[in-house]
Chain A
């Protein structure tokens, strides 16, 4: 069965450093998402991406964050200058995107980011 993959599974970085989290969505999917979950808190939406553009972003997704689909398979989340509060599990998800809000999302296994 097709699955969403994410790399790395864990990342430790120093405050102020740039990190890039990578995702490979399911191949025929058109909409991609990043969510994050701070330890002990609920999962929060960061950004959605369709047709090489951001379609929606949350208040969390400020200028320190960017997303890109650099080729036909990868979908990346970049944090330019990490802060301690960026420590979280980051999930990528994808959907085909044709069912108007009524579609199962497929999640990757997550990248656990720790900022020291």
Chain B
């Protein structure tokens, strides 16, 4: 069964801290996606990657195909980064299989 597991479920940080969220998945993905869900519920795609590393501003996403593991890093975290971060995978179709999400709160 195609599954996506995330950790931790909840994460609190002080402003400025370096944050890591982890994701593991079952074999055979086409791509690994990181998404952000705002407090109001809206979902925004952050990254889509199938190998290596991608960077956008203070966000970095990495994937290790051999270990079936991906990480999302946030450098110099800020209270506006507070949101739910979700890992999702596509397998042999384009439908997304979602993880349970990591609720991040960054305090000033």
The complex places the Cα of A45 from the Cα of B4 at a distance, in Å, of 13
Once the chains bind, are B94 and A104 in contact (CB under 8 Å)? no
Per a CB cutoff under 8 Å, which of B45, B96, B101 touches A35? B96
Once the chains bind, are A109 and B90 in contact (CB under 8 Å)? no
The complex places the Cα of A37 from the Cα of B101 at a distance, in Å, of 12
* Contacts of A86-114 to chain B: CB distance below 8 A: 89, 91, 93, 95, 97, 100-107, 109-110, 112
Residues in chain A near residue B100, CB distance under 8 A: 41-42
A31: nearest residue on chain B (CB-CB)?
Answer: B94
Residues in chain A near residue B30, CB distance under 8 A: 100-102
Residues in chain B near residue A104, CB distance under 8 A: 33, 45, 48
Residues in chain B near residue A93, CB distance under 8 A: 96
A43 contacts B by Cβ under 8 Å: yes
Once the chains bind, are B31 and A110 in contact (CB under 8 Å)? no
Once the chains bind, are A101 and B43 in contact (CB under 8 Å)? no
Tell me whether A91 and B97 are in contact in the complex, defined as CB-CB below 8 angstroms, given that A43-B86, A101-B30, A104-B48 are known contacts.
Answer: no
Encode contact with A along B76-101: 1 for CB under 8 Å, 0 otherwise. Answer: 00000000001010111111111111
Interface residues of B (CB under 8 A from A): 30-31, 33, 35, 40-45, 48, 50, 86, 88, 90-101
20 more A-B residue pairs beyond the given contacts A33-B96, A45-B98, A101-B92, with a C-beta to C-beta distance below 8 A: A35-B96, A42-B101, A43-B96, A45-B95, A45-B96, A56-B95, A91-B43, A100-B30, A101-B91, A102-B90, A103-B31, A103-B94, A104-B33, A104-B45, A104-B48, A105-B45, A105-B96, A106-B45, A107-B42, A109-B40
